[in-house]
Chain A
Amino acid sequence: MPRTILNVEGIHKIYSLGSFFKRLRINALDDVSFSVESDDPVVISLIGESGSGKTTLLKVLLRLVEPNRGRIDVEDRPIVAAGERTLPDDELLRLVQPIFQNPFEAFNAYRTVDKYLRDTAVLVNRLARGHEAEGAIDETLESVGLHYGDVVGKYPNQFSGGELQRVSVARALIPRPKLIVADEPVSMIDASLRMNIVNLFRKIKQEFATSFLYITHDLATAYYISDYIAILYRGCVMEFGAAADVLRRPLHPYTQLLLDSVPQVGVKWTAREKMSDLETTEYAFAGCKFANRCPHAMPRCRSVRPAAIRPKKGREVYCHLYAEPRDQTDSEAVGVG
């Protein structure tokens, strides 16, 4: 039976803004569920605009933010689950490790980067200071194409963006985690060097049998490395499935809009779509959150949240367009309930 690499079940997170009398509640994550089972390591991409909840989901996964409802399992072990014994913090760090968007902000400018590597080896991996820790660091740095001599005693500003991002990849790899969560790891890196980092992820996935949760808004690199893709919009999953399938044959109108908007070389844009003006209200929609901008919106879309429709195995789309007539009563019951 294949392992569950990542299982996200009904995660809700509500942020409250404003004062006691004039409270604005933002559904940053509104019933997010998806699950990936596989024997081999996989790359799962979370795609969405800013405000889609992708970073909030990452924070929930790293236990930096507590969700209002829902559970998350990684490698069949509960990470976030109300009323259940979850994984202790130190074991969580050996199972899941993060890589952040801007390496210059991730590392303290007044601290040499090798200290971060040593701290990770000693505190997370429980290696003895000295040779044991340095051996592990050197070995990990080799696998990202650097040497211990290149980084020792150096401050972050002595590296280029690409090099420093390699160092942060190496840091995340030291505990040999089963899942690396990478939040926009290449958006700060120049286009010509970006593929080096992306290819490095591919290599690590094979060599260390590490899965990735790759958070991005760049569809092209997501297509290049992902096995699975989840498209988020305003805190809801719109579409989920195998990466090549979702991006080559997008079903949800939002996925189609996203793909049309990518400035690709070779296909020229035609017309301008309607742009969203009212983001704060969109979070509160009872029906589909995309209904306001959707070219195919029906009356039902505004009142009933579409349930997951599975056109084939491993593919989910949350859209009323694909509901078969006999399913309608089912999905409505789920939406109202």
Chain B
Amino acid sequence: MKSNATHVHGEAASRRETVDISLRDVVGTYTTVRGTVNAVDGVSLDIAGGGIIGVAGESGCGKTTLLKLLYGNVEYPLSLTRGSIRFNLDGMPITHETIRRYWFRRIAYIPQSSMSSLNPVIRIRKQFLDRAGYSQDNVFQGARGRRQQRETLERVRQYLRELDLPVEVLDSFPHQLSGGMRQRVMVALATFFHPDIILADEPTTALDVVVQKGILLLLAEVQEALRNTILIVTHDMGVHYQLTHRMVIMYAAKIVEYGPTEEVFSRPLHPYTKMLIESLPKVGDDRVRQGAKGKPPSLYSELRGCRYAPRCPKAQAICRKQEPELAELSPGRRAACFFPEE
């Protein structure tokens, strides 16, 4: 973003004080033909707002479900069967029941697949106006409505210029843009109202590394200018290292670790986190890497004790019987393990 960004976002920046997210024993359940399955199973955590927070984990660990629950996008077959989710926006409490009133304007969402999220038969310009609340055609609006619409469009153009996007995209249909450009349009759409919280679900997974870098750094610039909270879900540990300030690691529907990203990478507490980091190959590193043994447990089965115990090299008898709490081991760092790494 260019220097005039601070001017545009000045009012928004001063508005922001505290955004806190508090999860209390959250259970998210999917109803399937094989029975019910808890994709998020008893998650409790207080996350202080501000900065970029990453949610890491492998497929099936519940990270996308957690994001859906946070966004309040809870529809069949997903349901919030237990627990509560609360946001605190400048002292204003928002629960999962009232959250829909704050969608777009204060809480935004960036999905993974921009192709299936943008309406394929209307131009990008109209998609911006629809979000701004101009759902009707010009004919029914009168002179005042048309003027407001023109002004909004001018603000959209200015905002696109701030984000270094070509203004011509407004006149395109989604299929005329490349994948990277569509995803940048999604970022622009999601951040146009300067939301307090942006939830991003694997925003760059389908893209090439060069494009990915551009979009992630764009998100970081938006966060710096707006001083808001971004929650980003991705399985790519490299992305977490580059972008996030704090991170949450999930395994088999549970949070196993939470802490500042730098410390999580330099001194992981949970053996699962350690394994995730060590299994990454690197350019210029000739060591032989071993993949993880075993696989995550099926969430359909009855699970006892620590869910990582069957694959854990440090597992003891207690790990198989009792479930470890997500305990604060040092200021700001939490891990659910009986024998955390030193």
Q: Is the CB of A261 within 8 A of B280?
A: no
Apart from A219-B283, A220-B280, A275-B210: 19 A-B pairs, beta carbons within 8 A: A193-B291, A194-B291, A198-B281, A198-B289, A199-B290, A199-B291, A223-B282, A247-B283, A247-B284, A260-B213, A261-B210, A261-B213, A262-B238, A262-B283, A263-B213, A263-B238, A266-B282, A273-B210, A275-B211
Q: Which of B127-135, B176-184, B224-232 contacts A (4 or more CB under 8 A)?
A: B176-184
Q: Which residues of B contact A271 (CB under 8 A)?
A: 217
CA distance A248 to B291 in the complex (A): 24
| Contact indicator A220/B282 (Cβ below 8 Å) | yes
Contact of A160 with B213 in the complex, beta carbons under 8 Å: no
Contact of B241 among A195, A219, A223, A265 (CB under 8 A): A265
Contact call A192/B58, Cβ cutoff below 8 A: yes
Partner of B291, one of A161, A196, A264: A196
Establish whether residues B284 and A223, one from each chain, have CB atoms under 8 Å apart when the complex forms.
yes
> How big is chain A's contact interface, by range?
35 or more
B209 is contacted by which of A160, A244, A258 (Cβ under 8 Å)? A258
Is B144 part of the contact surface with A, judged by Cβ < 8 Å? no
A170-225 residues at the B interface, CB under 8 angstroms: 190-199, 217, 219-221, 223-224
**B291 near A263: Cβ-Cβ < 8 Å:** no
Q: A50-B208, A257-B210, A265-B277 are in contact. Are A190 and B283 (CB under 8 A)?
A: no
The 6 closest A-B pairs by CB, nearest first: A263-B238, A196-B291, A195-B291, A49-B208, A190-B58, A192-B292
Query: Given A199-B290, A272-B218, is A224 in contact with B210 using a C-beta cutoff of 8 Å?
Result: no
A49 and B218: CB pair below 8 A? no
Residues of B with C-beta under 8 A to A224 = 281, 289
**Smallest distance from the beta carbon of A24 to chain B beta carbons, Å?**
13
Contact with B along A162-175 (1 / 0, CB 8 A): 10000000000000
Shortest Cβ gap from A197 to chain B (Å)? 8
Question: Are the C-beta atoms of A191 and B235 separated by less than 8 Å?
Answer: yes
Known: A275-B180, A275-B211. A195 touches B290 (CB 8 A): yes
Find chain B residues with CB under 8 A from A219 CB: 209, 283
Alpha-carbon gap, A269 to B221, bound state (A): 13
- Whether B276 sits at the interface, judged by CB under 8 Å, is yes
Contact of A192 among B213, B238, B275 (CB under 8 A): B275
Residues from chain B with a CB closer than 8 A to the CB of A49 are: 208-211
Indicate if the CB atoms of B213 and A272 lie closer than 8 Å: yes
B332 an interface residue at 8 Å Cβ cutoff? no
**How far apart are the CA atoms of A261 and B242 in the complex, in Å?**
11
* B236 at the A interface (CB under 8 A): yes
Q: Which A residue's beta carbon lies closest to that of B214?
A: A275
- B237 and A191 form a contact (CB under 8 A): yes
User: B173 within 8 Å of A by Cβ?
Assistant: no
Is the pair B295, A277 in contact by a Cβ cutoff of 8 Å? no
B298 to A, closest residue via Cβ = A160
| Bound form: Cα–Cα A156–B166 in Å | 44
Interchain CB contact under 8 A, A265 and B295: no
B59 within 8 A of A: yes
A259 to B209, CA, bound (A): 9
Do residues B212 and A263 form an inter-chain contact, with CB atoms below 8 A? Answer: yes
Contact of B281 among A160, A223, A258 (CB under 8 A): A223
Q: For window 279-333 of chain B, which residues contact chain A by CB distance below 8 Å? A: 279-286, 288-292, 295
* B83 → A minimal CB distance (Å): 27
A192/B209 in contact, CB under 8 A: no
Determine the chain B residues whose CB is within 8 A of the CB of A244 once the complex forms. 286
| A-B pairs with beta carbons under 8 Å apart, 17 shown | A160-B295, A193-B292, A196-B292, A198-B281, A198-B289, A198-B291, A221-B281, A223-B282, A223-B284, A247-B284, A260-B213, A263-B236, A263-B241, A264-B283, A265-B280, A271-B217, A275-B210
How many Å from the CB of A2 to the closest CB on chain B? 24
Specify which of A191, A257, A268, A275 is in contact with B58 (CB 8 Å cutoff): A191
The A-contacting residues of B in range 248-272, CB under 8 angstroms, are 265
- CB of A139 within 8 Å of the partner chain: no
Query: Chain A 240-265, CB within 8 Å of chain B: the 1/0 string?
Result: 00001001100000000111111111
**Given the complex, which residues of A lie within 8 Å of B283, measured CB to CB?**
219-220, 223, 247-248, 259, 262, 264
Tell me whether B239 is interfacial, beta carbon within 8 Å.
yes
Q: How far is the CA of A262 from the CA of B214 in the complex (A)?
A: 11
- Answer whether A269 and B213 are a contact pair too, CB < 8 Å, given A199-B290, A263-B242: yes
The answer to whether B209 touches A261, judged by C-beta atoms less than 8 angstroms apart, is: yes
Report how far A272 CA is from B284 CA in the complex, Å: 23
Contacts A160-B295, A224-B289; is A195 near B281 (CB within 8 Å)?
A: yes
Q: Are A192 and B279 in contact (CB under 8 A)?
A: yes
Cβ contact within 8 Å between A195 and B295: no
CB distance from B166 to the nearest CB of A (A): 6
Q: Which residues of B contact A196 (CB under 8 A)?
A: 291-292
Taking the closest CB of chain A, its distance from the CB of B218, in whole angstroms, is 7
Chain B residues near A260: list those with CB within 8 A. 213
Q: Give CA–CA (A191, B251) in the complex, Å.
A: 13
Residue pair A265, B218 in contact (C-beta under 8 Å): no
Inter-chain contact B181/A277, CB cutoff 8 Å: yes
How far, in angstroms, from A224 to B282 measured CA to CA in the complex? Answer: 8
Residues of A within 8 Å of B277, CB to CB, are 265
B218 (CB) vs chain A CBs: closest residue:
A272
Which of the residues B178, B212, B281, B292 comes within 8 Å of A220, measured between beta carbons? B281
B238 neighbours in A (Cβ, 8 Å)? 262-265
Q: Are A50 and B179 in contact (CB under 8 A)?
A: yes
Of the candidates A199, A223, A259, A272, the one whose C-beta lies within 8 Å of that of B214 is A272
